[in-house]
Amino acid sequence: MKRQTLLLLALALFSLTSLTCLDTRPEFSYKVYGNIANYFENEKDLLSFFEFKKGDVVAEIGALKGENIGGLALLTDSITFYVQDINAKTLNQKNFNKVIRKCEKYKKPLTAKFNLCIGTEKSSNLPDAAFDKIVLSATFHEFTCMDEMVTDISKKLKPTGKLYILESHCFGKTHINYRVDETTAIMKKHNFHLVKKDGKDLNGGTGLYRAIYAKDN
């Protein structure tokens, strides 16, 4: 009788734990995953687009506080991430630690490795020929020194590396909008070719596209 009671208690505890785990799974939204989530319908859509692999070295340029990288760390395994921005007041260890603590509420331990990097308007200051993937999430239009930055990105990618550009239309008067054909023309000038373009308007966005570029051989 005592053994049956213990078994029932164990099963009840297991069920309660399972339900708790399901209840704490984060909603796929920018609140958890950063603005990168606005470009995808769900986790599967995101992972299918990026095709992350264990051991990848990935950078986000223009990462702000690093929310996107924190979100990607929740969805991937054993990736080395470089979190890059030009504003040290926004991107610093203190702010990024807050991002990581938030992510650890959903996944602990995180298997990713993280590096912070402060660049300039003309240079990312990332290591050369180091990256399998570089991500620009609502960042391409922010480049004030476009030619210098695209040249710099080319140097940072491995020969087989890819650049992922996520953009959508903004109605701000000072905002420069680049359609995918305009972005592709700029990239072509720097010896990149378009590998894939997809995306549809989501989460209130218009003119949304997701484009992947690779260096010409």
Q: How do residues 76-119 score in pLDDT, each as one tens digit?
A: 999 999 999 999 999 999 999 999 999 999 999 999 999 999 99
The pLDDT of residue 17 is 44
Peptide bond into 109 cis (omega under 30): yes
Cβ count near 123 (within 10 Å) = 15
pTM of the entire predicted model: 0.87
The 10s digit of each residue's pLDDT in 155-204 is 999 999 999 999 998 877 777 899 999 999 999 999 999 999 999 988 88
- 64 and 118 Cβ atoms separated by less than 8 Å: no
Task: Encode 180-215: b = buried (16+ Cβ within 10 Å), e = exposed.
Answer: beebbebbeebebebeeeebeeeeebeebbbbbbbb
Residue 4 lies in a domain: no
Q: Which domain CATH number covers 98? A: 3.40.50.150
* Count of domains for the chain: 1
The pLDDT of residue 5 is 53
Domain range enclosing 80 = 27-215
